[in-house]
Chains A and B, each alone.
Chain A
Amino acid sequence: KAGVTQTPRYLIKTRGQQVTLSCSPISGHRSVSWYQQTPGQGLQFLFEYFSETQRNKGNFPGRFSGRQFSNSRSEMNVSTLELGDSALYLCASSSRGPSEAFFGQGTRLTVV
């Protein structure tokens, strides 16, 4: 069974630009969650999608958005990038909800 796949693995963007990250969950998993991982804050929850609907949302500004497609693949978008958005963005999928999540390898975003 293929694991959670995130693309691209690395991104370098300039302040003010926007970026889209992609996540393909494990086959059959309908819940996809996104987390931001930084050395200082650890893993912080961004949002969770289930059957194309946002079911949970963390405390991030509206510049962070996401969506889920009918095949459960999910995308995350960050607009008007700031230096502080530099982080590892992790996607996790689950069959029954955000608990017991299986993680992708992440997309390392660097904002310069």
Chain B
Amino acid sequence: AQRVTQPEKLLSVFKGAPVELKCNYSYSGSPELFWYVQYSRQRLQLLLRHISRESIKGFTADLNKGETSFHLKKPFAQEEDSAMYYCALGNSGNTPLVFGKGTRLSVIA
């Protein structure tokens, strides 16, 4: 069964500090991993996907198949990064995305 675990419900960091949001997954096939972000009163939006290996808003995430992890990182947190972050697991087929329960990031000035 597909499963996504985000161990932290809430993560508080100071502005300028590094951020790491943890995501671990369970899947026996070839996974596609995503990070979605939901800012206050805005829709859930795709932040980045592992297959594109891009950096969005300073965030990066590397898929580690050995550790089955896809942690989201940013070297210097900004106040505007405060939001709810969801890790999601999919595949190249037609099965639905499975989401973790989310981590609320709070960046303190």
Q: Chain A residues in contact with chain B, CB under 8 A? A: 3-4, 31, 33, 35, 41-45, 48, 50, 55-56, 58, 90, 97-106
Total A-B Cβ pairs within 8 A:
58
Residue among A56, A58, A100 making CB contact with B94, cutoff 8 Å: A56
Contacting pair B94 A98 (CB below 8 A):
yes
Given A42-B86, A42-B102, A99 and B43 contact (CB-CB distance below 8 Å): no
Given A42-B86, A43-B86, A99-B91, A33 and B46 contact (CB-CB distance below 8 Å): no
Contacting pair B44 A48 (CB below 8 A):
no
Q: Chain B residues in contact with chain A, CB under 8 A? A: 32, 34, 36, 42-46, 49, 86, 90-102
Query: What residue of chain B has the Cβ atom nearest to residue A38's Cβ?
Result: B101
Given A33-B96, A99-B97, A90 and B102 contact (CB-CB distance below 8 Å): no
Q: Which 8 A-B pairs have the closest CB atoms?
A: A99-B90, A42-B101, A98-B96, A43-B99, A103-B44, A97-B94, A105-B43, A45-B96
Query: What residue of chain A has the Cβ atom nearest to residue B42's Cβ?
Result: A105
Query: What residue of chain B has the Cβ atom nearest to residue A35's Cβ?
Result: B99
**What A residues does B102 contact at CB under 8 A?**
42-43
Residue among B32, B90, B93, B100 making CB contact with A42, cutoff 8 Å: B100
Query: What residue of chain A has the Cβ atom nearest to residue B93's Cβ?
Result: A97
A99 to B90 Cα, complex, angstroms = 6
A20 to B15 Cα, complex, angstroms = 43
Additional A-B contacts beyond A42-B86, A58-B96 (10; CB < 8 A)? A31-B94, A43-B44, A43-B86, A43-B102, A50-B94, A98-B95, A99-B34, A99-B90, A99-B97, A102-B46
- Smallest beta-carbon distance A85→chain B, Å: 19
Residue among A97, A100, A103, A105 making CB contact with B49, cutoff 8 Å: A100
- Smallest beta-carbon distance B27→chain A, Å: 13
Contacting pair A42 B99 (CB below 8 A):
yes
